[in-house]
Amino acid sequence: MSLPNCPKCNSEYTYEDGLMFVCPECAHEWPQQGDESAEPQEKQIRDANGNVLEDGDSITVIKDLKVKGSSLVVKVGTKVKNIRLVDGDHDIDCKIPGIGAMKLKSEFVKKN
């Protein structure tokens, strides 16, 4: 089986690494299957029920959440409007009425 040349530098010294091809000369990696010119998929953030969340959505908290460094608690059923999605472990940026700005994990909310 002959391996393809590197699409970036045209090197013939490519090798397989798992499901990827790697070029040792320019360090370019590309998938063995599929079209490289395809745009990479954006990471979709989903709520506890599997619904895709988007910026500006309204959500409801499905579990009591303790506010770190405080004695406050975000109660089950708290509705939050106009969320903003961010990268990281806590992937929702929002303002909770009575508490203020917070970051939430998408696994503890459901889309309205």
22-49 pLDDT, tens per residue?
A: 999 998 998 987 554 444 556 789 999 9
Task: Give the alpha-carbon dihedral of 95, 96, 97, 100, to 10 degrees.
Answer: -60
Are residue 102 and residue 71 in the same domain, yes or no?
yes
**Number of folded domains in the chain?**
2
Tokens of 76: 């089950």
Question: What's the CATH number where 98 sits?
Answer: 2.30.30.40
Structural domain that includes position 102? 58-111
CATH number assigned to the domain comprising residue 15 = 2.20.25.10
Same domain, 71 and 106: yes
- Mean pLDDT for 76-81 is 95
Distance CA 6, CA 81 (A): 48
Region 48-62 average pLDDT: 94
Structure confidence at residue 38 (pLDDT): 46
Pairing type for strands 92-96 and 20-22 reads unpaired
Evaluate whether residue 93 is within a structural domain.
Answer: yes
